Amino acid sequence: MTVRPHGQARLSSVLLAGVVAATLCSVPASAQDGGGLGARLQSLIGKLRGNALPEGIFKTNGRLEAEQVLIASKLAGRVAEVLVDEGQTVDVGEVIARMDTTELAAQLSGADADVRRAEKAIAEAQAAIVQREAERTLAEQEYERAAKLRQSGYGTIQSADQRQSQLNVAIAALHAAQASLDEAEASADTSRAEVARIQSQIDDSVLKAPRRGRVEYKLVRTGEVVAAGAPIVTLLDLGDVYMTVFVPARVAGRLAMGDEARIVLDPAPDYVIPAKVSFVASGAQFTPKTVETADEREKLMFRVKLRIASELLKTYEDRVKTGVRGEAYVRTVSTAQWPEALSVKLPQ
């Protein structure tokens, strides 16, 4: 705050009094009665003093911003085509660009062949199990007959031992066939997983808009080769627009999430846009070397976001532009009333 010398303050008072007196003298007698005189005096004083804000309302400057989304390629490769232009508005799920998938398609064909090969191995293993089960059943029957003949005295020990050995071989062959089936099924699962992985990469090669927004920059052209994670297009989320402002510590300490605010943009000073406090930085953006005195503490500036309602943005989507500068007004006292000049006024 600038401190004027006493002489300058006295001169300003004299000039103000002189202007008021001249105005009173120029007012007709009929107009000095009633409320006409008071209204003119208030208008004159307002012009001389400037448009002062009511107590509890703080004014600052800022600019409109929007959340930026990078549409990037998950895999390295050649860009087959970019389907959008700068300034174009896209919906959720709309295709932004496509990557060349020729190599992936070849890999997918090979993986599909591996799946078919594994499925054939499963069928062969299942048939082998049926065969081995039949051989085991026959070996069990022959062993039981040989054992009964031996017990009755009509068979030899050697014959019974041979049937026992044949049964053991049949059981082992059945276990081997079952193991072959397990291996074939595991191989099929691996091949199917490889097909799913490659198909996922092919799907990721089609870049889609994750949300509704406006294309800000087209960073890559058709035919260019990009690295994994390289951005192709930058998208502005038209449903997440806010003004970033900086306020002193005494103001930031009184703000709460959801507090009402007003925005007046430089290109459209006739309109007043409603907003709400959505973010207050926990740390100061500028900190003096010492904060021991009140003057030094007043230099602490905190970043604040004033977010515009998504429903309002949807109504005026075609008018939303980022980077536009303007003035922002916040209330440091919740009971403070907005002046008539800051009443919400939107384009029709």
Q: For the chain, which residues make up each domain, given as ranges?
A: 68-100+206-233, 102-204
> What backbone torsions phi and psi does residue 160 show, to the nearest 5 degrees?
-65, -40
Tell me the two tokens of residue 127.
């048939």
Query: Distances in Å between the alpha carbon of 28 and those of 32, 44, 45, 88, 291?
Result: 7, 16, 19, 61, 57
CB 263 within 8 A of CB 326: yes
Which CATH class name applies to 68-100+206-233?
A: mainly beta
Q: Is the pLDDT of residue 105 over 90?
A: yes
Model pLDDT for residues 229-285, shown as the tens digit of each residue: 999 999 998 888 999 999 988 898 889 899 999 999 998 888 999 999 999 988 877
Reported pTM: 0.62
Q: Pick the residue with more confidence: 158 or 227?
A: 227
- The set of residues, in sequence order, having a beta carbon less than 8 Å from that of 37 and lying 6+ positions away, is 24, 27, 31
3-state class of 206 per DSSP?
Answer: strand
The end-to-end CA distance of the chain, in Å, is 41
d(CA 250, CA 79): 52
Q: Is the pLDDT of residue 306 over 60?
A: yes
> What backbone torsions phi and psi does residue 12 show, to the nearest 5 degrees?
-65, -40
d(CA 297, CA 282): 15
Q: Is the pLDDT of residue 145 over 50?
A: yes
pLDDT, average across residues 287-316: 74
